Amino acid sequence: MRFIDEARVFVHAGKGGDGAIAFLREKYRPFGGPAGGNGGRGGSVIFQVDEGLSTLLDFKYQPRLIAKDGEGGRGKEQYGHGADDIVVRVPPGTIVFDEESGKTLADLVMPGDTAVIAQGGEGGRGNMHFASSTRRSPRIATPGTAGEQRWIRMELRLVAEAGLVGIPNAGKSTLLTALSAARPKIAAYPFTTLAPNIGRVSISNDESFTLADIPGLIEGAHKGLGLGIRFLRHIMRTRLIVYVLDAADDPASAFKTVHTEIAAFDPMLAERLAIVALNKIDLLDAPEVTKIARKLRKLTGLEVFPISADKSEKLAPLVAAIARMLHTMDQPAHVATEL
C-alpha cells in the first residue's frame, strides 16, 4: 500500500428538505386545515478514526464526499425522512484544515474519535406550524437550509510515543526491525525509507510503546530539501525523540545537522525530551566507542546508549531507558506545599 500523508477533498453536506404546504380534507371537516409536514435533515459528512488505517490513499481516488439531501415534507402532517450521514474512516493522526481560511477543523488522534466536517442542513417547516387563530389556512412553508460545503486539506501525522530521527543510513529502519515486528525496507543506500514506519516494542507482557522510524533528514530539510517538511512534521506527534547516530561516520556532526533542522522547523521540538542511540558500534573498537559516547554526552547533554542494531547488541538498556523516560512523562508533577 502506498503511503499518502496529504490529500485535498471537497466535502458537501446535504440540503435540508423543504417544508410542505398541504391541507387536510376529511369527512366532517369540510374546511380541513393546514397539514404540511417538515422537511428532513440533510446528511452530514463525519470523519471517524479507524486504527486499522495508516494512509490517506483512499482520498486520492475519492476527492469528493457528497451527502444526500433530506426529503421534503408531505401532507397529512408527515415529516420528510432525514438523509443518512456519510461516516468516513480516517487513520489516527489525521488533521483536517479548511482550505480557504486555514482553520483547523479537526485533529483526530484516538481510535473512535469523530468530527463533523460538513454539517447537514436543517429541514424546513411545513405550513402546519404557521396556523393561528387569525390565520387558519396559511400557505406558508420554509425551505430547508443548505448543507455546508468546503474544500478541505488533510494531513496525516503518525502517532507514536517515540520517534527515531537521524541522517540517511544511520540505521533507523534496522533498529526498528530489531526492536519490533515492523519490517521497513532496508538497503545500503540513502533514502531507502520513503515513508514513516511504525512498530510496537514490547517491554513485558503488560507494557509496550510505539516507535516510529522517520525518513532521513539532511541539511536544509526544513526548507524542503531531501524528504523535507513532508516528514519533519511527523516528529511533532512523538513524545520522545531518539537520535540515531552512526558511530563510524562523524556522529557529532550528524547530531548537529538533525537537531538544527528540527529546531528550524519548530523550535519547541528541539526542546522535546530526547535520547541518543549511538549505532554501529560493531564497526569500532570498544575504547573508541567509549570516547565517542563521552564526547556526545558533553555535546548534547543527553543520555547516550552505544548499540548495534544490525547485530542486536546492547538494545535492552536503550529500550529500558526509553520506557523509563516515557513512564516519567506520564507521572503527575508533584507540587510542594507550605505547611
DSSP collapsed to 3 states, 266-327: CHHHHCCCEEEEEECHHHCCHHHHHHHHHHHHHHHCCCEEECECCCCECHHHHHHHHHHHHH
Q: Does residue 82 share a domain with residue 133? A: yes
| Residue 338: per-residue pLDDT | 38
Whether 53 contacts 10, CB under 8 Å: no
The answer to whether residue 228 scores a pLDDT higher than 90 is no
Q: Does residue 136 share a domain with residue 66? A: yes
**Mean local confidence (pLDDT), 254-259:** 91
The answer to whether residue 107 scores a pLDDT higher than 60 is yes
Q: Which of 91, 72, 95, 96 is nearest to 82 (CA)?
A: 72
Whether 40 contacts 67, CB under 8 Å: no
Q: Does residue 173 share a domain with residue 137? A: no
Q: Does residue 321 share a domain with residue 189? A: yes
| Residue 322: per-residue pLDDT | 93
Number of domains in the chain: 2
**Mean local confidence (pLDDT), 143-165:** 89
Calpha distance 25→75 (Å, rounded): 10
**Mean local confidence (pLDDT), 62-79:** 93
Q: Does residue 94 share a domain with residue 168? A: no
Residue 97 belongs to some domain of the structure:
yes
Report residue 28 as a C-alpha cell: 366532517
Please identify, among 156, 180, 202, the residue that sits at the C-terminal boundary of a domain: 156
Please give the mean pLDDT across all residues of the chain. 84
Residue 339 belongs to some domain of the structure:
no
| Residue 190: per-residue pLDDT | 41
Please identify, among 102, 132, 156, the residue that sits at the C-terminal boundary of a domain: 156
The answer to whether residue 331 scores a pLDDT higher than 60 is no
**Mean local confidence (pLDDT), 70-74:** 94
Report residue 153 as a C-alpha cell: 486539506
Residue 335 belongs to some domain of the structure:
no
Residue 1 belongs to some domain of the structure:
no
The answer to whether residue 61 scores a pLDDT higher than 50 is yes
Whether 166 contacts 254, CB under 8 Å: yes
| Residue 192: per-residue pLDDT | 40
Q: Does residue 150 share a domain with residue 282? A: no
| Residue 25: per-residue pLDDT | 75
Q: Which of 192, 272, 208, 212 is nearest to 240 (CA)?
A: 272
Calpha distance 98→54 (Å, rounded): 22
Calpha distance 120→43 (Å, rounded): 5
Residue 33 belongs to some domain of the structure:
yes
Residue 59 belongs to some domain of the structure:
yes
| Residue 187: per-residue pLDDT | 42
Structural domain that includes position 169? 162-330
Q: What percent of the chain has pLDDT over 70?
A: 83
* Higher-scoring residue by pLDDT: 52, 227: 52
Q: Tens digits of per-residue pLDDT, 1-54? A: 455 678 999 999 999 999 999 988 776 655 668 889 999 999 999 999 988 887
Q: Tens digits of per-residue pLDDT, 285-294? A: 999 999 999 9
Q: Does residue 83 share a domain with residue 10? A: yes
Residue 95 belongs to some domain of the structure:
yes
Alpha helices (runs of H) in 1-105, residue ranges in sequence order:
57-61
**Mean local confidence (pLDDT), 228-237:** 65
Q: Does residue 301 share a domain with residue 219? A: yes
pLDDT band at 265 (very low <50, low <70, confident <90, very high): confident
Calpha distance 67→147 (Å, rounded): 9
Report residue 147 as a C-alpha cell: 448543507
Q: Does residue 180 share a domain with residue 149? A: no
Residue 66 belongs to some domain of the structure:
yes
pLDDT band at 225 (very low <50, low <70, confident <90, very high): very low
